[in-house]
């Protein structure tokens, strides 16, 4: 069984992003970039399935600029077998990403696609669902547990009322939640081995996918500064402040 894992290069989650001076977007020059944390969880789960003997190969793919090779090398240092890089100077939106992934699924013929439930840079939470729709495959989102047996995936997903258990017939698309696993740290020997693993480079144009964005960013601004908290002695004082200051009652 082959597993395909899409990964995205984003600003490291430990870094506070800055807005560009002209308000056109987020400044990324000079910032540390890393793999989207939810995609890292997806890679870990795919590698674990291979280590259990359930999967035979883990292929990672990234769509973006040439520097995304670093993200793919990280995934291979975690245990992925090989990588695909689809070059695109445009910042791809979820629909374009889903269309590219559909082409790669047709090329690679995986039995399972595991990806993060969302990317931390735009929080779209749409790529996995769109990919499943384009492929006509079963899907499970926000998954916190995966078991594969007899050509089916039994998953747990967290919902407002508790846990929902689903059984999916493979092939399927699964998006990983935060509690699916704890990703491993890449060891130095594996980092060195990853440098020798192959990365196949493709162009989005060669796949016949239009990468031009359909959304236009009008402006980006820093969030408003939070006001200092005020401690009150009683509920009546709280109600009084809400009436006279917040004007919500």
Q: Is 142 left (phi over 0), alpha (psi -120 to 50) or beta?
A: left
Instruction: Specify the DSSP class assigned to residue 222.
Output: P
Distances (CA, A) of 141 to 11, 107, 236: 24, 24, 44
CB burial readout 20-54, b (16+ within 10 A) else e = eeeeeeeebeeeeebbbbbbbbbbbbbbbbbeeeb
User: Dihedrals φ, ψ of 113, to 5°?
Assistant: -115, 120
CA 28 – CA 244 distance, rounded (Å): 43
| Residue reference for tokens 């090779």 | 69
CATH for the 2-223 domain, from 3.40.50.620, 3.20.20.100, 3.90.1150.10, 3.30.450.90: 3.40.50.620
Task: Identify the pLDDT of residue 246.
Answer: 60
The predicted-structure confidence for 141-191, as pLDDT tens digits, reads as follows 999 999 999 899 999 998 888 889 999 999 999 999 999 999 999 899 999
Nearest to 22 by CA among 223, 224, 218, 225: 218
Pairing verdict, β 57-64 and 152-159: unpaired
Domains of the chain, by residue range, sit at 2-223
For residue 168, list its beta bridge partners: 153
Cβ neighbour number for residue 78 with a 10 Å cutoff: 23
Range with the largest mean pLDDT of 28-37, 55-64, 118-127, 191-200: 55-64
| Axis-axis angle for helices 127-135, 94-108 (nearest 10) | 50
The predicted-structure confidence for 118-131, as pLDDT tens digits, reads as follows 998 888 899 999 99
- When pLDDT is cut at 50, 70 and 90, the band that residue 247 belongs to is low
Helix (H, G, I), strand (E, B) or coil at 162: strand
Tokens of 213: 């964005």
CB burial readout 206-231, b (16+ within 10 A) else e = ebebebeeeeeeeeeeeeeeeeeeee
pTM of this prediction?
Answer: 0.83
Task: Identify the pLDDT of residue 109.
Answer: 95
CA 107 – CA 194 distance, rounded (Å): 23
- When pLDDT is cut at 50, 70 and 90, the band that residue 33 belongs to is confident
């Amino acid at each position: 069984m082959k597993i395909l894992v899409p990964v995205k290069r984003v600003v490291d989650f430990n870094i506070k992003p800055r807005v560009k001076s002209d308000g056109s977007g987020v400044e990324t020059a000079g910032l540390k970039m890393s793999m989207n944390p939810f995609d890292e969880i997806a890679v870990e789960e795919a590698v674990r399935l291979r280590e259990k003997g359930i999967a035979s190969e883990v292929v990672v793919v990234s769509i973006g600029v040439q520097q995304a090779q670093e993200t793919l090398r990280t995934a291979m240092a975690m245990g992925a077998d090989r990588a695909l890089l689809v070059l695109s100077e445009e910042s791809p939106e979820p629909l374009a990403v889903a269309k590219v992934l559909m082409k790669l699924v047709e090329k690679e013929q995986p039995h399972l696609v595991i990806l993060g439930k969302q990317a931390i840079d735009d929080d779209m939470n749409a790529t996995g669902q769109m990919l499943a729709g384009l492929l006509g495959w079963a899907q499970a989102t926000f998954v916190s547990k995966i078991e594969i047996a007899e050509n089916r995936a039994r998953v747990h997903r967290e919902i407002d009322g508790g846990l929902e258990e689903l059984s999916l017939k493979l092939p399927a698309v699964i998006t990983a939640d935060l509690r699916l696993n704890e990703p491993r740290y890449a060891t130095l020997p594996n980092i060195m081995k990853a440098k020798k693993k192959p990365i196949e480079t493709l162009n989005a144009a060669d796949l016949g996918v239009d990468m031009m964005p359909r959304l236009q960013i009008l402006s980006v601004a820093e969030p408003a500064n939070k006001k200092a908290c005020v401690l009150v002695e009683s509920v009546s004082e709280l109600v009084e402040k809400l009436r006279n200051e917040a004007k919500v009652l």
